[in-house]
Amino acid sequence: MQSRETTNNLPSSYRLSVLIHQDGLSFFIDNGNEIVNTITRDFKHQSNPIEILESIEQAYEQEDKLQQKFDEVNLIYHHSILSLVPASLYEESLQADYLKYNTRILQTDVISIDENVGNMNVNVVYIAYSNINNFFFDKYGDHQYYHYSSRLLPIIKEVDGLHIEMMDSHFYLTAIQQGKLIAHNSFPYDEIEDVLYYTLYAMSQHQLDPETIDTYLRGGNVDPKLFDLLYMYIRKLHRDKEYTIHLNKLICA
């Protein structure tokens, strides 16, 4: 496991957001306007909730920045165990059914819901890890937790087109038309050709024309070859080079 840290001078009042994924962890400290400190831990393999909690505990033992007082603590689950359900059709009794095709649900799993995300008439149903939630409750008391999609959708909903947000081992694909959510999902990838396949497949399924639709590619470390590959098939492809601004909006929301 590798650890990285970036830092600025901390303000007197700040918040902690923990991005939780099977590939790693990111601890973001922000002052409400921008991220001022980042601690990142990368896993050598996809980890289960027990291993993820062990890494969180190690981070608290080793990182002085995490010993400080936080005015607010947020957990952001960053995995593909999610389903989007129209708010008008959502039924609480069917929570497990919404996820049963995504994963095998364990008794210890907590099925969670982020309601009416971004006033888009959609609920995000996902798994929150009970052992990790309990750790942060014991440490801080009340805290908030969300799925990454619930923070992402509100900040891109005003921009019509196809949004591709790249992560280390998966990416989010979102289609917006006339301010309405058409599609949103998370896909794994090993090679850049996988990204092309899923993107073109989603376009085909939702009748999106690769010759005319504005497509936005963003991420903290996007392979330049991916842009070139996508551009062979998607004419109005835009590279979002302001990912730091995008991340600040997402974390400081």
Last residue in a domain, options 101, 124, 156: 156
59 shares a domain with 184: no
Nearest to 20 by CA among 154, 137, 177, 131: 131
Nearest to 51 by CA among 131, 151, 158, 141: 131
How does pLDDT run across 22-63, given as a tens digit for each residue?
889 999 999 999 999 999 998 888 888 899 999 999 999 999
199 shares a domain with 180: yes
Structural domains of the chain, count: 2
Show the CA angle centred on residue 44, arms to residues 77 and 8, nearest 5°: 60
User: How far is Cα 26 from Cα 136, in angstroms, rounded to an integer?
Assistant: 15
Predicted pLDDT of residue 48: 87
169 shares a domain with 147: no
Nearest to 37 by CA among 7, 4, 5, 3: 7
98 shares a domain with 49: yes
186 shares a domain with 116: no
121 shares a domain with 186: no
120 shares a domain with 188: no
For residue 17, name the pLDDT band (cuts at 50, 70, 90).
very high
Q: Tell me the residue range of the domain where 209 lies.
A: 157-251
The first and second tokens of residue 161, run together, are 């087109």
CATH number at 168 reads 3.30.420.260
Last residue in a domain, options 156, 190, 205: 156
164 shares a domain with 67: no
179 shares a domain with 161: yes
52 with 22: CB under 8 angstroms? yes
124 with 149: CB under 8 angstroms? yes
Last residue in a domain, options 116, 140, 156: 156
What share of the chain has pLDDT > 90, as a percent?
A: 76
55 with 40: CB under 8 angstroms? no
135 shares a domain with 12: yes
Ordered strands of the 122-129 beta sheet: 82-86, 122-129, 109-114
How does pLDDT run across 82-99, given as a tens digit for each residue?
999 999 999 999 988 899
94 shares a domain with 6: yes
Mean pLDDT of 155-167: 95
List strand residue ranges (DSSP E) for 43-93, in order.
72-77, 82-86
CATH number at 3 reads 3.30.420.250
The answer to whether the predicted template modeling score (pTM) of the entire model surpasses 0.75 is yes
235 shares a domain with 122: no
